[in-house]
Structure 1
Amino acid sequence: MKATHVPEIAGARLFEPTPHTDARGSFCRTFDAGVARSAGIDPDAFVQDSLSRSVRGVVRGMHLRSGAGEAKLVRCSYGRIFDVVVDLRPDSPTYLGRLCVELSGETQATLYVPAGCAHGFQALTGPADVSYRIDRPHDPAEDVTIAFDDPELGIPWPLPVTSVSRRDREAPGLSDVLKRLGS
């Protein structure tokens, strides 16, 4: 497994496994505590795993947490997604920077999203399964959502958006969220 820095978002990392393929299929390690540690990430910090399954065209995001924020490891375990991270940390050298990357079940790459960054994705296939490993137990009172289609974000969603949750559809724009967060 190889860990690389992602220059668009300070502190973000992309973990790419080494697949072993033969006539039966393939095998790869999707998480390695030693590799995470060597990339500057505490592997023991993660406390909760979740999974979402989405149909093609669905957008989930843009989400983040207030307070101490939430770091997460994101991996598309089946299908393909267009994954987006926006840096909302005012003291970050990549403040308001955006990363767009495709994650897929074929590569099993994992993206580390630092606390203080908004995250979302669009399912490019149906279904697309996305696993999340977060570093704090989820508290709905800390949920913050930014409009996925806010022109200020300018996210180039690759497919027509087929469905979003009510929460995502009614989310405020980036400027309003930054005011709420005191950024």
Structure 2
Amino acid sequence: MQVLPTTLDGVLILAPTPHRDERGLFTRTFDTATAARAGLDPAAFVQDSQSRSRRGVVRGLHGRVGGGEAKLVRVAHGAVHDVVVDARPGSPTFGRWEAFRLDDVDFHVLSVPRGCLHGHQTLTDTADVCYRIDAEHDPAEDVAVHHLDPDLGVGWPLPVSLVSDRDAAAGSWAALVATLTGDGPGRG
């Protein structure tokens, strides 16, 4: 498994080598030694979750304030356009976003550090996205920024077919920045 850098500070891709033959394939989805070499604490991950979405669905942009959470994200079936927004005020890449294709061909695992927003759009008929998270969920820490926020300008490759009520009502990037930096009440 290789560790590949991205343009966002601390965001990494863990790239396995799937082994394919006439039976199908086998791939490693997590390796503690690789995680440790990349500066991740393999023992810190306490929760695994999975979502299934249809083509065009956007989930996100979600994050946590307070203690936050780091996550490893991968696609078990299908493909997604995955987006990470750096929402860490002290980061050199604060306010920037980067998109990644995660799919069931390359099986890349995206390492998303604490303090980042995350979301994805399903590119295939269905996609199963798996999350390994390093903190128990605390709903009081939830924040969300609208997926079409003009200040972020995230480009979604397909027309957005569906979002949750929570995501449709998500706040603005400007309000979250005000909250994170103490420049105003914000609502994230």
Q: Give your verdict on TM over 0.5.
A: yes
Q: Deviations over 1:93-118 (max 9, x none)?
A: 11111111110011111000010000
The answer for the alignment partner of 1:163 in structure 2 is: 162
**How much has 1:23 moved relative to structure 2?**
0.6
What is the identity, as a one-letter code, of the residue corresponding to 1:153? L
Aligned residues: 182
What is the identity, as a one-letter code, of the residue corresponding to 1:144? V
The answer for the alignment partner of 1:83 in structure 2 is: 82
- TM-score, normalising length from structure 1? 0.97
**How much has 1:51 moved relative to structure 2?**
0.1
The answer for the alignment partner of 1:125 in structure 2 is: 124
SS at match of 2:161: coil
SS at match of 2:151: coil
5+ unaligned residues in a row in structure 1: which ranges?
Answer: none
Superposed, 1:57-72 pairs within 5 Å as 57-72=56-71
- Distance in 2 between residues matched to 1:108 and 1:140, nearest whole Å: 29
The answer for the alignment partner of 1:2 in structure 2 is: 2
Q: Deviations over 1:66-94 (max 9, x none)?
A: 10111000001110000000101111111
Superposed, 1:28-177 pairs within 5 Å as 28-177=27-176
Worse-superposed segment, 101-110 or 51-60:
101-110
What is the identity, as a one-letter code, of the residue corresponding to 1:50? S
What is the identity, as a one-letter code, of the residue corresponding to 2:90? D
What is the identity, as a one-letter code, of the residue corresponding to 2:71? K
SS at match of 1:84: strand
Deviation above 2 Å: which 4+ runs of structure 1?
180-183
SS at match of 1:107: coil
- Aligned CA RMSD, in angstroms, stands at 0.9
**How much has 1:182 moved relative to structure 2?**
3.0
What is the identity, as a one-letter code, of the residue corresponding to 2:3? A
- Distance in 2 between residues matched to 1:180 and 1:120, nearest whole Å: 20
- Distance in 1 between residues matched to 2:41 and 2:25, nearest whole Å: 28
SS at match of 2:176: helix
- TM-score, normalising length from structure 2? 0.95
**How much has 1:180 moved relative to structure 2?**
2.2
- Distance in 2 between residues matched to 1:111 and 1:50, nearest whole Å: 15
8 Å CA contact 2:145–2:172 kept in 1: the answer is yes
5+ unaligned residues in a row in structure 2: which ranges?
Answer: 183-188
What is the identity, as a one-letter code, of the residue corresponding to 1:123? T
8 Å CA contact 2:89–2:181 kept in 1: the answer is no
